[in-house]
Amino acid sequence: MAMKRRTIDRWAPWMFLGALLLGWELVVRVFGIDEFVLPSATASFMALYNNFGPIMYNTWPTFWTTMVGFGLGIVVGVALGVIIGSSRFMYNGLYPLLVAFNAIPKAAFVPILVVWFGIGVVPATLTAFLICFFPITVNIATGLATIEPELEDVLRALGASRIEVLRKVGLPRSMPLFFASLKIAITLAFVGSVVSELAASNSGIGQLMLSAASTMRVPLMFAGLIVISVMATVMYQVFAVLERRMTGWATRGMDAHG
Amino acid sequence: MAQAFVDFHRVYLAYDETSGNAVEDITLQIHAGEFIAIVGPSGCGKSTFMKLCTGLRPPSQGTVAVDGRHVSGPLKIVGMAFQAPNLLPWRTTLDNVLLPLEIVEPYKASFKAKRVEYAERARSILKTVGLQGNEDKFPWQLSGGMQQRASICRALIHQPKLLMLDEPFGALDAFTREELWCVLRDLWQAQRFTVVLVTHDLREAVFLADTVYCMSKRPGRIIARRTIDLVRPRDLEITYEDHFTAIVHELREHIGRVRKT
């Protein structure tokens, strides 16, 4: 019985995905919705199949601009998080600025980036970066700012320097928060790069969707959405697995086999 | 008397200008190898005393000297344990106990080279507190009492000259607490480090310490000093003897008086 329960749990996401696709297909057919308005699931997947070459050709630039932007986001996000989290002065001074910056819709940066760097992969990479570093910074900073004062006393009474406290306690204890933020950041990074491609790019899924829109090939646009969603989900899973491996202690080993 | 190991001379500390003194006019001497306990009502500045003694806080007035030297910054020879075990959940029990050796010289420099030797030392100290077989478990897989034992091991692994304990047994049940009194007694009897035990448990103070200091409520002052002349090694049985109870009563009266005012 327990075995069966687990099997069901494992297949649950696929069952819901199947139900969603089936519902989508049924709604379109039953109500006879025009393909220009909402293409059916089968039409979208057919478009994906028929245009597999061009789609793959455009998937690659989207993927790597996102990953480069995400990588930058990790580096800058962690650095800022460490700076803000380890000093009250920095926390008070920089945090409000970051919040204000984060409130700006990142799509609004795209025209500026295009003016600076021209049309191409640079604006997409930078938009991905700008949108994804904030959650990483906030989580690292929170992890560092909430070290138990007594634990810090234990280490300082041993003569530990600030760097040592950071290395031995601050960073390891921020790891669960860091990985949680990576899962948010990776999906945001895809949002950033695709938004930028939609506005100004020569390649990428965003650009493909834009050109499909100009010729009213709506099923192809949906195929583009599916591809983005699959990429983001796969990357999310990669980081979820990494998280379980690295920070199993945080969940007290509960999902070590999950 | 030989030069004191810890020497407080007319020490005052105010955390900031508005809140008044946390402790006032503390003068006391602890000699090397002595076990002292500080008791007092809650909020009396017992923890402030710890911070002053370890150099984590400089005094507002007066001087603190440890081991013949004026204390001006955090000391590097102190082991500390608190009411919360504060173990690192991502490290095994063994690695938690090894932590000080990764920070304190001379161990730090040779930590990688001598890791096996140090791990052996950690195992043996864990064994003395009855934690053998739990070295590779994570702290959250241990009971509260076991975590506190590991925490004391961590405080002692680098053979500190001074051990500071801030209500280390406060969160434990009565049986475990008495068991750990004996663990601490045996460790101290064997190694003779200097201990400052902050507690609100008078029986604990009398059972373990050579000298008990009573503090008044905030601003904390030392209102009584009582030498405990019970013969060592002390057995848990003595806590039920009249002489022991009389001392506890006497201290209780001091505390009672400051609580009333």
Rg (CA), chain A: 22
Which of A126-135, B152-161, B165-174 ranks highest by mean pLDDT? A126-135
Closest residue on chain A to B47 (Cα): A150
Average pLDDT value for residue range B229-234: 86
Nearest to A148 among B86, B164, B166 (CB): B86
Question: What count of other Cβ atoms lies within 10 Å of the Cβ of residue B259?
Answer: 13
Shortest Cα distance, chain A CAs vs residue B133, angstroms: 19
Give the per-residue pLDDT at B83: 85
Test B88 with A154 for CB contact under 8 angstroms: no
Give the per-residue pLDDT at A258: 36
Shortest Cα distance, chain A CAs vs residue B162, angstroms: 11
Chain B residues inside the 8 Å CB shell of A173: 88, 90
Give the per-residue pLDDT at B232: 83
Test A249 with B90 for CB contact under 8 angstroms: yes
Strand order, beta sheet including B78-81: B78-81, B162-166, B194-199, B35-39, B211-215, B222-227
Q: Say which range, A146-160, A193-207, B21-35, has the weakest mean pLDDT.
A: A146-160
**pLDDT surpassing 70 at residue B182:** yes
Query: pLDDT digit string (tens) for B67-99?
Result: 888 888 888 778 888 888 889 999 999 999 999
Tokens of B85: 């075990």
Say if residues B211 and B180 touch (Cβ distance below 8 Å). no
Test A151 with B86 for CB contact under 8 angstroms: yes
Give the per-residue pLDDT at A156: 83
> What does the mean pLDDT of chain A come to?
90
Which of A18-32, B37-51, B223-237 ranks highest by mean pLDDT? A18-32
B144, B170, B154: which is closest to B93 by C-alpha? Answer: B154
**Higher-scoring residue by pLDDT: A28, B21:** A28
CA atoms of A60 and A171, how far apart (whole Å) = 33
Q: Name the pTM for this structure.
A: 0.79
> Strands (DSSP E) along B82-193, which ranges?
162-166
Test B74 with A169 for CB contact under 8 angstroms: no
Task: Using pLDDT thresholds of 50, 70 and 90, give the confidence band for residue A256.
Answer: very low
Cα A171 to chain center, whole Å? Answer: 22
Test B54 with A157 for CB contact under 8 angstroms: yes
Give the per-residue pLDDT at B76: 76
Nearest to A169 among B82, B88, B104 (CB): B88
Chain A residues inside the 8 Å CB shell of B99: 168
Average pLDDT value for residue range B38-66: 86
Percent of chain B with pLDDT over 90: 28
Query: pLDDT digit string (tens) for A212-248?
Result: 999 999 999 999 999 999 999 999 999 999 888 888 7
> What are the boundaries of each domain within chain B?
1-77+161-261, 88-160
Test B158 with A247 for CB contact under 8 angstroms: no
Interface test with A, best of B90, B140, B166, B167 (most A CBs within 10 A): B90
ipTM of the complex: 0.75
> What does the mean pLDDT of chain B come to?
87
CATH architecture for segment(s) B1-77+161-261: 3-Layer(aba) Sandwich (3.40)
Please give the domain boundaries of chain A with CATH numbers for all domains.
39-245 (1.10.3720.10)
Tokens of B19: 């809140």
Q: Is B240 an 8 Å CB contact of chain A?
A: no
Task: Using pLDDT thresholds of 50, 70 and 90, give the confidence band for residue B13.
Answer: confident
Residue type, A210: L
**pLDDT surpassing 50 at residue B172:** yes
Query: pLDDT digit string (tens) for B126-138?
Result: 988 888 899 999 9
Shortest Cα distance, chain A CAs vs residue B115, angstroms: 17
Shortest Cα distance, chain B CAs vs residue A136, angstroms: 21
The secondary structure of A99-119, three-state, reads: HHHHHCCHHHHHHHHHHHHCC
Please report the residues numbered 47 through 66 in chain B whose beta carbons come closer than 8 angstroms to any beta carbon of chain A: 51, 54-56
Closest residue on chain A to B159 (Cα): A158
Closest residue on chain A to B92 (Cα): A249
Say if residues B204 and B234 touch (Cβ distance below 8 Å). no
Nearest to B76 among A158, A249, A253 (CB): A158
Percent of chain B with pLDDT over 70: 99
Test B89 with A249 for CB contact under 8 angstroms: yes
Give the per-residue pLDDT at A155: 86
Shortest Cα distance, chain B CAs vs residue A248, angstroms: 8
Closest residue on chain A to B155 (Cα): A154
CA atoms of A129 and A132, how far apart (whole Å) = 5
Average pLDDT value for residue range A39-57: 94
**pLDDT surpassing 70 at residue B1:** no
H or E stretch at B94:
helix B93-103
Closest residue on chain A to B96 (Cα): A168
Shortest Cα distance, chain B CAs vs residue A92, angstroms: 20
Pairing, β B6-14 against β B61-66: antiparallel
